[in-house]
Amino acid sequence: MQYDKIISLPHPDLKNHYPMSLHNRAAQFAPFAALTGYDDACKEVTRLTDSRIELDDDRVAELDVKTQILIDHTGERPEIEIEYFVPDKRKSGGAYYKIKGFFRWYDSGNASIVLSDGMSIAISDIYRIDGDIFGIYL
């Protein structure tokens, strides 16, 4: 047999080369992605978005009344919770978010509610406003 002479010899130690670390050796067998970005594209396609809910006249009137109550109590900085729609930047639809904060003022130029932390939410994106202002539940 042709390997009988060398099978029992010790493994050679190279003087000019260090053995490869286990981490680098394992990296040789890491999975290879032939299509760069394919996984990201698949995740993007399967990501779900909500469609914007069209508000009926009653809901619009209710939000107008609540906005006016907030404007009337501007100096008191009441705590409110707002549910609002944020359009998705990549595909149609978006998502609804809730935020709690203190009402700072109403920006009539941009038709938005500004909270004490500086966040501005457009009235057209608001779905619901809740809060407790001096016994008046919004």
Q: Supply φ then ψ for residue 61, to 5 degrees.
A: -65, -40
Question: Contact at 8 Å (CB) between 120 and 82?
Answer: no
User: Which of these ranges, 9-18, 82-91, 103-112, has the smallest mean pLDDT?
Assistant: 9-18
Answering whether pTM is above 0.75, one says: no
CATH fold of 57-137 reads: SH3 type barrels. (2.30.30)
C-alpha torsion 115→116→120→123, nearest 10: 20
How many CB atoms within 10 Å of residue 78?
A: 16
Both structure tokens of 89: 């930047």
Domain residues of the chain, as ranges?
A: 57-137
- pLDDT band for 39, please (50, 70, 90 cuts): confident
pLDDT tens, position by position, 100-136: 999 999 999 999 999 999 999 999 999 999 988 756 6
